[in-house]
């Protein structure tokens, strides 16, 4: 089993729709969680951290379910500019070990 798993997609979604991705992780001791987005041929950019109580940033909502060991990302009112690959990242201790998922590709269509 991979340490961090994501559905590779692509998710083809009409503009304005709501879309959600999940990411599962295998190490129950994981401490920190992040969502990054990566545009084609660009570097990953931090989208948001994921907090235990869930957090929201504009149209984006991230949630953590420790019991089932997954995190989720919800995008409301999707825009064409949301088209990208979304990377789930899990930190397994408080130092530096980031484990990256392979990403979920999202395509927003007009």
Partner 1 sequence: ETGVTQTPRHLVMGMTNKKSLKCEQHLGHNAMYWYKQSAKKPLELMFVYSLEERVENNSVPSRFSPECPNSSHLFLHLHTLQPEDSALYLCASSQVGGQPQHFGDGTRLSIL
List of residues contacting partner 1 (CB under 8 A): 4, 31-32, 34, 41-46, 49, 87, 89, 91, 94-98, 100-103
Nearer to partner 1, 63 or 78 (CB): 63
User: Does 16 sit behind a cis peptide bond, omega within 30 degrees of 0 on the bond before it?
Assistant: no
For residue 5, which of 68, 87, 105, 95 has the smallest C-alpha distance? 87
Minimum Å gap between C-beta 16 and partner 1 is: 29
Minimum Å gap between C-beta 34 and partner 1 is: 5
Minimum Å gap between C-beta 94 and partner 1 is: 5
Burial class (CB within 10 angstroms; exposed 0-12, middle 13-18, buried 19+) of 58: exposed
């Amino acid at each position: 089993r991979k340490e961090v798993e994501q559905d590779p997609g692509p998710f083809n979604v009409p503009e304005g729709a709501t879309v959600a991705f999940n990411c599962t992780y295998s190490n129950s001791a994981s401490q920190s969680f992040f969502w990054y987005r990566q545009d084609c041929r660009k570097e990953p950019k931090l989208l948001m951290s994921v907090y235990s109580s869930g957090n929201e940033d504009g149209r984006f909502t991230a949630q953590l379910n420790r019991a089932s060991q997954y995190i989720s990302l919800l995008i409301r009112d999707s825009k064409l500019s949301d088209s990208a690959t979304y990377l789930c990242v899990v930190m397994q201790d408080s130092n530096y070990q980031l484990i990256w998922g392979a990403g979920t590709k999202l395509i927003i269509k007009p």
